[in-house]
Amino acid sequence: MHILTIAVFACMFWYADDPARWKVVTDGDVLWTISLVVGQSILVGLLGWFVSTWVYRQHKNIISAPEKCHARHQRYMAGIRFLGTVLFIVSIVFTNWPVWLAFGKTRPELQIFGDLIAVLPFFISMIALWTVSYPVERALMRESGVGNIDGQPQEGMAWHLSAYLDFQLRHYMFAVAIPMLLILFVANLAIGYENELTQITGWSRMDETLLGVSAGLVFILSPIFLRYIWRTKALERGPLRDRLEAISRCAEFRCRDILVWKSDGMMINAAVMGLFPRVRYVLLSDALLTAMDNDQVEAVFGHEVGHVKLRHMQFFLLFAFVGWLLVAGVMEGGAQLMATTTVTKSNALLAVESVGVISTIVIWGLGFGWISRRFERQADISGAHSATPDGSRCQVPCSVHVPSGQAAVSNLCVCMTGAKVFASALERVAKLNGIPIEEWSWRHASIGKRIRFLLALAGDPSLTLGFHQTIHRIKLTLIILALAGSGITAYYWVVMVEPALLRLQGS
Ligand SMILES: [Zn+2]
Ligand SMILES: [Zn+2]
């Protein structure tokens, strides 16, 4: 769901950058614009209501397991959310909706109000969908026991629509929308006052620099915003916090605070956010803390600490940089090819930019997912390390606590007891969230696969070594690609004077 909100704002940025290029409708097309702007939320709401009731009726008539029905319901709702996002993007690109809201023409600082109104149809669609599907979602959750702890519904679990909407909005919409709107505001100013900025500073790229710096700042400070956009509180002092702090000290991991993520029991999840210790938080959701014992919480915490200590975030940023260079390279190649043909400039630009969008989707869809799934597994190993007991408490055959009580074979090895504690925590996450254990996930792989992998590593130290080598190669490849790509780009810039892509865009 986050990715859909990101797509919506990517579209807004795209449009802000060059509104004229996207105008493919005539000025007088009022009826088409109004029908799409108003119609999208109505369509999403009606479709959501229809599909929800249909799923529930099917569940009642044909006896099928409630948990299967719940998973199916969630899949259909995700499909409708995707449709709503596509409709919204169509309304930005193919109607006069954003043209009517071009307040920036009067004063650039007013454009943000136009942008706020422009994204409203998307927000309304999602609220409509959550509202109409909630009764079925709640009924299926109750019947399937999703979110139950040891067979009992959670205490204080919210069953009210208002709490449900509050959580969904904060979690999936505001968390993305608020930082994005801040950057969009700066983008509007940079675009609107481009000439003034150049005059004052005497530098023609001042607008882009300003935008880049503020986007970086918002990104770095976003954990502070998120802490308040979501409902959180500091984890209370007590034995659990002491144990988590001990793990942090041991791993030389620093963060600003360990927070409880309040979701009224709706979310069993943990996360870490922040590039730098001063703006870094570890989040453990309320339901996770009630559902797991201290050993399991420690394992989950160790997984999050692992992401930081293994610098996964930095390598994701490097991946984004390499991806950006690759797309720019492909687009430049396309632009050069187009320059040798008789295609009109506007068609050539459309072709080159379409290739750019497609290659971005391919690089992220395949490359990012592939790397992310491997980083998750590496963090799982850290989780198992955090849950590793001392030798006397490890009762199973294990490559760390070798039977004769000798020292560990290697600190890379995974203790079977630690692996089992982490696996049990993962199983809990799946069960309580109602995720089928074998359901594939783009960023995390299926929980079943992760568990089998971790247990296999604990049984065979040579597998662990091989896996660490794979990760090492991934990181090295990213570094080499980034360096080589930067070198080629710099060389190209100096030798070519003006790349074909800029020539095409400038026309
Ligand atoms: Zn993770
Ligand atoms: Zn062991």
DSSP string, 162-212: HHHHHHHIIIIIIHHHHHHHHHHHHHHHHHHTHHHHHHHH--TTHHHHHHH
Q: Is residue 471 part of a domain?
A: yes
Residues with CB under 5 A from ligand 1 (ion): 376, 379
What are the Cα distances from residue 170, in Å, to 117, 177, 187, 284, 296?
18, 10, 24, 16, 27
Please give the distance, rounded to the nearest whole angstrom, from the Cα atom of residue 396 to the centre of ligand 2.
7
- Give the CA distances from residue 140 to residues 37, 55, 155, in Å, rounded to whole numbers and listed in that order: 32, 10, 18
Cα 185 to averaged position of ligand 2 atoms, centre (Å): 54
387 CA distance to ligand 2 middle (Å): 10
Ligand nearest to the CA of 450: 1
Residue with tokens 């493919």: 24
- Domain of 364, in residue numbers: 293-507
Asked if residue 241 belongs to a domain, the reply is no
Query: Do 313 and 212 share a structural domain?
Result: no
What pLDDT does residue 337 have?
86
Distances (CA, A) of 164 to 120, 138, 158: 20, 10, 7
Within 13 Å of residue 71, how many CA atoms lie on the same side as its CB?
A: 15
Write down the pLDDT at residue 81: 96
Residue 253: inside a domain: no
Could you give the number of structural domains in the chain? 2
Boundary-marking domain end, from 179, 198, 230 = 230
- The alpha carbon of 388 and the centre of ligand 1 are apart by a number of angstroms equal to 18
Identify whether residues 359 and 503 lie together within a single domain. yes
**394 C-alpha to ligand 2 centroid (Å):** 5
Among the three residues 183, 213, 230, which one is the final residue of a domain in this structure?
230
Identify the sign of the CA torsion 106, 110, 114, 115: positive
Q: What is the model's pLDDT at position 45?
A: 96
Partner residues linked to 152 by β-bridges? 149
pLDDT 10s digit of each residue in the chain, 507 long? Answer: 888 999 998 888 888 877 665 556 666 678 888 888 999 999 999 999 999 999 888 887 776 777 788 888 989 999 999 999 999 998 888 888 888 888 878 888 888 999 999 999 999 999 999 999 999 988 888 887 776 766 676 665 656 889 889 999 999 999 999 999 999 999 989 888 888 888 888 877 788 888 899 999 999 999 999 999 999 999 999 999 999 999 999 999 999 999 999 988 878 899 999 999 999 999 999 989 988 999 999 999 999 999 999 999 999 999 999 999 999 889 888 888 888 888 887 788 888 888 988 999 999 989 999 999 999 999 999 999 998 888 777 877 777 776 654 555 556 788 889 999 999 999 988 888 878 888 888 888 899 999 999 999 888 888 888 999 999 999 999 999 999 999 988 888 787 667 777 777 765
Cα separation, 227 vs 216, whole angstroms:
18
- The ligand minimizing its distance to the Cα of 379 is 1
Which residues have CB under 8 Å from 34's CB, separation 6+? none
Residues 205 and 320 in one domain: no
CB contact at 8 A, 224 and 280: no
In a domain, 259, yes or no: no
Q: What's the pLDDT score for residue 158?
A: 57
Q: Dihedral of CA 218/220/221/227: which sign?
A: positive
Residue 274 φ then ψ, to 5°: 115, 130
Residues with CB under 5 A from ligand 2 (ion): 394, 398, 400-401, 415, 417
Q: Rounded to the nearest whole angstrom, what is the distance from the C-alpha of residue 421 to the centroid of ligand 2?
A: 11
CA–centroid distance, residue 376 to ligand 1 (Å): 5
Q: Long-range contacts made by residues 285-292, C-beta under 8 angstroms, separation at least 24?
A: 285/260, 285/261, 286/260, 286/261, 286/262, 287/147, 287/149, 287/154, 287/263, 287/432, 288/429, 289/240, 289/260, 290/149, 290/154, 290/155, 290/265, 291/149, 291/154, 291/428, 291/432, 292/425, 292/428
Tell me how far apart the alpha carbons of residues 97 and 28 are, in angstroms, rounded to a whole number: 12
Separation CA 310–CA 314 (nearest Å) = 9
Distance separating alpha carbons of residues 69 and 55, to the nearest angstrom? 7
The Cα-based distances of 26 to 105, 186, 219, 415, 424 in angstroms read: 19, 30, 38, 67, 59
Residue-level pLDDT at 124: 96
Residue 83 falls within a domain, yes or no? yes
Return the pLDDT at 22: 56
User: CA 5 → CA 151, 169, 307, 365, distances in Å?
Assistant: 35, 11, 24, 17
Expressed in angstroms and rounded, the spacing between residue 458 Cα and the centre of ligand 1 is 19
Ligand nearest to the CA of 308: 1
- Answer yes or no: is 242 within a domain: no
Of 289, 290, 310, whose CA–CA distance to 300 is shortest? Answer: 289
Q: List Cβ neighbours of 145 (8 Å cut-off, separation of 6 or more).
A: 66, 67, 151
- Tell how far the Cα of 271 is from the centroid of ligand 1, in angstroms: 7
**Cβ neighbours of residue 14 closer than 8 Å, sequence gap 6 or more:** 22
Q: Which ligand ends up closest to the CA of 301?
A: 1
Residue 138 in domain: yes
234 forms beta bridges with 259
Give the per-residue pLDDT at 202. Answer: 80
Q: Are residues 355 and 458 in the same domain?
A: yes
Distance 29 CA to ligand 1 centre (A): 48
- What's the confidence (pLDDT) of residue 19? 65
Nearest to 267 by CA among 157, 174, 140: 157
Nearest listed ligand to the Cα of residue 403: 2
Residue ending a domain, among 213, 230, 247, is: 230
Neighbours of 121 (CB within 10 A): 23
- Residue 160: predicted pLDDT: 85
Say which amino acid occupies 101.
Answer: L
Compute the residue count for the chain: 507
pTM score, whole prediction: 0.87
331 and 216 assigned to the same domain: no
CA 412 / ligand 2 centre spacing (Å):
13
Evaluate whether residue 268 is within a structural domain: no
Q: How far is the CA of 307 from the centre of ligand 1 (A)?
A: 7
**Same domain, yes or no: 304 and 407:** yes
Count CB neighbours of 192 within 10 A. Answer: 19
